[in-house]
Amino acid sequence: MTGRLLLVPNTLDFGVAGEASPLQDVLPMGVVQTAARLTHWVAENAKTARAFLKRVDVLAPLAVPLQQMQIVELPRPAKGGAKGASPDVSPLLAPTAQGHDLGLISEAGLPAVADPGSALVAAAHARGIVVVPLVGPSSLLMALAASGLNGQSFAFVGYLPVEPPARAARIHELEGLSRRLQQTQLMIETPYRNRALLAALLEHLQPGTRLSVSCGLTLAQGFTRSDTVSGWRTAAIAVPDDVPAVFALLGV
């Protein structure tokens, strides 16, 4: 029998200082037990995957010792390569041909969502391999739900440009698109640039535009604040520079 590709969600506390959230508070026990029985993995980062499996082992014993797990990392696109070119990930699906279920895991959250794992999922579909998404946290959807912005129409736009002129132009573009379509625009940033992105948003957005910031979701210190840009300017708060955040805006 051909094995399946299981999309295993990770926690959202990767790289965050402080005490991690209990695994059972973030993932259903059924997902933990499924992860425990898998012996073949494809990971965004093998070290992160091993750390996740150590936490799983506390709640549900692993099928084999961690040292015997087969964990292969997703290849990274070559720097300076041709635009649109991407590595062939299909060989990573080989364990399914031997009847093994294969786990795909990201560094944080749902694999293949704002994550390079989508290429492996596409390769699995092309080969008729069953793909099974498992239940777990998605920072994007959690931030959207907590924002109070339009959850009926939304778009994830990834990272904004780092250079100030290009970033300002992109902010104006997204605000205009959001206002025209009444569509929430979601974006993320490398944590150490959180404050720079927030400052740019407050500088370039219109006063009436709604802005929401979610930091450290599922963590004890996590929070979401939603307000107009005018309200943010009046009562600004410090956004951590070492905790993942999701930013959302809605033009009015």
- Of 71, 104, 133, which residue constitutes the final position of a domain? 133
**Per-residue tens of pLDDT for the chain, all 252 residues:** 899 999 999 999 887 766 678 899 999 999 999 999 999 999 999 999 999 999 999 999 999 999 999 999 999 765 544 455 678 999 999 999 999 999 999 999 999 998 889 999 999 999 999 999 999 999 999 999 999 999 999 999 999 999 999 999 999 999 999 999 999 999 999 999 999 999 999 999 999 999 999 999 999 889 999 999 999 999 988 899 999 999 999 998
**Burial bucket for residue 156 (CB in 10 Å: 0-12, 13-18, 19+):** middle
Residues 203 and 110 in one domain: no
Question: Which amino acid, one-letter code, is at 211?
Answer: L
Whole-number Å distance between alpha carbons of 141 and 201: 21
In angstroms, how far is CA 44 from the centroid of its own chain? 11
Q: What is the 3-state secondary structure (H, E, C) of 154-172?
A: EEECCCCCCCHHHHHHHHH
Residues 56 and 171 in one domain: no
Q: What's the confidence (pLDDT) of residue 80?
A: 46
Provide the β-strand partners of residue 102: 5, 40
- Of 116, 133, 150, which residue constitutes the final position of a domain? 133
Q: How many domains does the chain have?
A: 2
Local structure of residue 243 (DSSP, 8 states): S
Q: What's the confidence (pLDDT) of residue 15?
A: 72
Taking residue 252's Cβ as centre, other Cβ atoms within 10 Å add up to 11
Give the tokens for residue 6.
Answer: 């299981």
Q: Is the pTM of this model over 0.85?
A: yes
Q: What is the residue range of 36's domain?
A: 5-133
Q: What's the confidence (pLDDT) of residue 116?
A: 87
Q: What's the confidence (pLDDT) of residue 81?
A: 46
CATH of the domain at 163: 3.30.950.10
Alpha-carbon torsion 16, 21, 26, 31, what sign? positive
Q: What's the confidence (pLDDT) of residue 249?
A: 98
CATH of the domain at 59: 3.40.1010.10
Whole-number Å distance between alpha carbons of 106 and 42: 9
DSSP string, 185-203: EEEE--GGGHHHHHHHHHH
Residue written as token pair 């300076």: 80
Residues 110 and 143 in one domain: no
